[in-house]
């Protein structure tokens, strides 16, 4: 299997002294979909920000054989598409079409080619009818689709989603899962949503205090770390 | 929100919208120079400039009342100076001051309302404006939306927890604190947006969404604007 991400001994400390990552080893193969689980503040988002060079820690991060370092960021960012948790942060251009064309234009495509590619991606995510709309007029589900189109338009080899189901209603979550299942790229899902991860991921990694605490199938990790929401006492493992 | 309306206007379709950003910039500069150098006593010239601006407004197919209302935003500032000038015994100069500022503001607004910002800045860049200046304007404009959105969220949150009878003084204190929080939150949001831009390959320059291209109609428009502005100015 062709390895597209290889991380060894990654450490990162925030300027306030918080040790966010403490020796992470991780890999992702081509076509694979992996879920990242872990408590809030366990380092998941910090970790994925290293994958396209938005943060720079100690250790080694390689994307498609390229070390992630300052001189290679253009190539790295063309290979790793990052879909942020809050779509509002990702949609900053005046219209949907311009926003999706932003990435291809940065890759050096001329305006017509960038717009053409953007339109194709918007058709793929079912948002071609919104090309002239302002992004802030869209619903949460529509914004998420446009954000994904913006990343797909850069034709990355790896897709990283940070809490993709946040703000989405159940039908929106189902549609998103269907959309992602049809994408051939390697995928990394940072999520608390176990059902979403079950539907898409073949492997899961559990983060705890900046370390990888466990790795296995999604169900193995859910059982091992008791990673399911329970809201009634009768659902507690002790009572069953 | 004014900037949202103007942004929408700028994406309209009219003979003025269709003109290249650079020729509109050239025409605006010519008009501003002509207006600002016209002698104060020349009311005929100001009427002629007003007719030119009115013709451009009609050609833009934008709501006239909305344009005039937004163009009048400069008046409270210029009217203050005009009043002081009036009281100091120079009514002609005071009137000209108000006329010059209103016509200049309206003309600049007309340019922004008929030209998408990306095209306007691309035009400025090809005309040799410093790249750092263009970048700052672009970020300022983007973050204007961010700040107004944050402000709206905070206003709703505050309204949901204010009783109708809340003391005015208490509201004022809360608003003062909210402004500080607004800027802190906007800064965080702006940081997130910048990070998202970097993740999609942004390297310090916005790529234009259209490649500027001059047509014969653009050249004719610029030539006509120069002739009209020069004509009025010389006749004044």
ipTM reported for the complex, 2 dp: 0.77
Structure tokens, B64: 């006239």
Identify the three-state secondary structure at position A196. helix
Q: What are the sequence ranges of the domains in chain A? A: 3-87+157-239
Sign of the CA dihedral with A41 first, then A47, A52, and A58 last: positive
Residue B52's pLDDT band (boundaries 50, 70, 90)? very high
Binary contact (A110, B211; C-beta < 8 A): yes
Q: Quote the pLDDT of residue B170.
A: 65
In chain B, which residues have their Cβ closer than 8 Å to the Cβ of A116?
none
Q: Is pLDDT of B110 > 80?
A: yes
Residues of chain B contacting A, Cβ within 8 Å? 4, 7-8, 11, 116-118, 142, 145, 149, 189, 192-193, 195-203, 207-211
The per-residue pLDDT for B211 is: 67
More confident residue, B153 or B220: B220
CA of B189 vs chain A CAs: smallest distance (Å): 7
Using a CB-CB cut-off of 8 Å, the residues of chain A touching B8 are 134
Nearest to B192 among A89, A95, A107 (CB): A89
Calculate the average pLDDT of chain A: 89
Of A66-80, B70-84, B139-153, least confident by mean pLDDT is B139-153
pLDDT of residue A220: 95
Confidence of residue B210 (pLDDT cuts 50, 70, 90): low
Its sign, for the CA torsion B199, A105, A91, A199, is: negative
Chain A: nearest CA to B204, how far in angstroms? 10
Q: Which residues, 6 or more positions from A191, have their beta carbon under 8 angstroms from its beta carbon?
A: A35, A36, A37, A161, A163, A164, A165, A197
Contact A158, A132 (CB under 8 A): no
What mean pLDDT is reported for chain B?
85
Confidence class for position B101, pLDDT limits 50, 70, 90: very high
- Yes or no: say if B128 and B22 are a contact pair by the CB < 8 Å rule: no
Q: Is residue B92 predicted with pLDDT exceeding 70? A: yes
Kindly report, residue by residue over A19-46, the tens digit of the pLDDT: 999 999 999 999 999 999 999 999 999 9
Give residue A237's pLDDT.
Answer: 55
Contact A26, A50 (CB under 8 A): no
Q: What angle do CA A84, A86, A92 make, to 5 degrees?
A: 85
Tens digits of residue pLDDT in A90-124:
888 878 998 899 899 888 888 889 999 999 999 98
Contacts of B185 in chain A (CB under 8 A): none
What is the C-alpha separation between B79 and B94, in angstroms, rounded?
A: 8
Smallest CA–CA distance, residue B8 to chain A, in Å, is 9
Find chain A residues with C-beta within 8 A of B11's C-beta: 94-95, 132
Chain B residues close to A114, C-beta within 8 Å: 207
The larger pLDDT score, comparing residue B168 to residue B18, is at B18
- pLDDT at residue B49 greater than cutoff 90: yes
For position B127, what pLDDT does the model report? 85
Residue B7 pLDDT > 60, yes or no?
yes
CA dihedral A92, A94, A98, A100 (to 10 degrees): 40
Among residues A227, A228, A186, the alpha carbon closest in space to that of A207 is found at: A227
Question: In terms of pTM, does the model score above 0.90?
Answer: no
What's the average model confidence in pLDDT over B78-86?
Answer: 89
Distance from CA of A239 to the nearest CA of B (A): 41
Task: Give me the phi and psi of A87, to 5 degrees please.
Answer: -60, -30
Whether A240 shows a pLDDT value over 50: the answer reads no
Q: What is the pLDDT of residues A48-71, one digit of tens each?
A: 999 989 999 999 999 999 999 888
A3-87+157-239 carries CATH number 3.40.50.11390? no
Domain ranges in chain B are: 2-116+211-235, 131-199
pLDDT at A13 over 90: yes
Please, how many CA atoms are within 13 Å of residue B209, restricted to the half-sphere of its CB? 21
B196:A88 CB<8 A? no
Query: A189 falls in which pLDDT band (50, 70, 90)?
Result: very high
Share of chain A above pLDDT 90, in %: 61
Three-state secondary-structure class, residue A110 = coil
Cα–Cα distance measured from residue A2 to residue A28, given in angstroms and rounded to the nearest whole number: 9
Count contacts between A and B (CB, < 8 Å): 75
How far lies B140's CA from each of B4, B5, B87, B137, B146, in Å? Answer: 14, 17, 38, 5, 10
Residue in A49, A92, A151 closest to B197 by CB: A92
């Amino acid at each position: 299997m062709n390895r597209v991400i290889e991380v060894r001994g990654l450490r990162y400390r925030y300027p306030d002294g918080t040790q966010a990552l403490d020796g992470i080893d991780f890999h992702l193969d081509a076509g694979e979909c992996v879920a990242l689980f872990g408590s809030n503040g366990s380092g998941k988002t910090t970790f994925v920000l290293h994958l396209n060079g938005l943060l720079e820690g100690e250790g080694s991060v390689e994307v498609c054989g390229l070390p992630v370092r300052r001189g290679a960021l253009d190539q790295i960012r063309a290979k790793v598409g990052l879909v942020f948790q809050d779509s509002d942060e990702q949609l900053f251009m005046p219209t949907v079409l311009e926003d999706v064309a932003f990435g291809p234009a940065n890759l050096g495509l001329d305006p017509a080619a960038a717009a053409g590619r953007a339109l194709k991606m918007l058709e793929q995510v079912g948002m071609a009818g919104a090309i002239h709309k302002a992004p802030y007029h869209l619903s949460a589900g529509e914004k998420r689709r446009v954000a994904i189109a913006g990343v797909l338009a850069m034709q990355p080899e790896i897709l990283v989603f940070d809490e993709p189901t946040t703000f989405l209603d159940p039908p929106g979550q189902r549609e998103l899962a269907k959309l992602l299942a049809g994408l051939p790229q390697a995928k990394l899902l940072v999520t608390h949503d176990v059902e979403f991860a079950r539907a898409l991921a073949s492997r899961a990694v559990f983060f705890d205090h900046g370390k990888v605490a466990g790795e296995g199938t999604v169900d193995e990790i859910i059982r091992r770390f008791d990673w399911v929401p329970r809201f009634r006492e009768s659902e507690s493992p002790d009572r069953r | 929100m004014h900037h949202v309306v103007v942004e929408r206007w700028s994406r309209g379709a009219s003979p003025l919208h269709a003109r290249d950003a650079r020729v509109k910039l050239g025409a605006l500069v010519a008009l501003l120079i002509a207006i600002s150098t016209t002698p104060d006593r020349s009311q005929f010239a100001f009427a002629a400039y007003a007719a030119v601006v009115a013709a451009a407004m009609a050609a833009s197919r934008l709501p006239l009342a909305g344009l005039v209302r937004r163009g009048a935003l400069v008046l409270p500032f210029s009217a203050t100076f005009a009043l002081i000038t009036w009281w100091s015994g120079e009514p002609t100069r005071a009137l000209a001051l108000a006329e010059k500022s209103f016509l200049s503001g309206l003309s600049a607004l007309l340019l922004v309302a008929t030209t998408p910002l990306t095209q306007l800045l691309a035009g400025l860049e090809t005309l040799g404006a410093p790249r750092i200046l263009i970048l700052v304007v672009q970020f300022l404009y983007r973050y204007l939306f961010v700040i107004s959105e944050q402000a709206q969220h905070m206003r709703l949150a505050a309204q949901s927890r204010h009783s109708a009878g809340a003391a005015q003084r208490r509201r004022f204190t809360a608003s003062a604190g909210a402004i500080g929080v607004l800027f802190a939150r906007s800064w965080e949001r702006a940081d997130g947006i910048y990070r998202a831009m970097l993740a999609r390959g942004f390297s310090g320059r916005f790529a234009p969404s259209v490649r500027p291209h001059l047509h014969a109609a653009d050249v004719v428009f610029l030539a006509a604007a120069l002739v009209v502005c020069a004509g009025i100015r010389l006749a004044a």
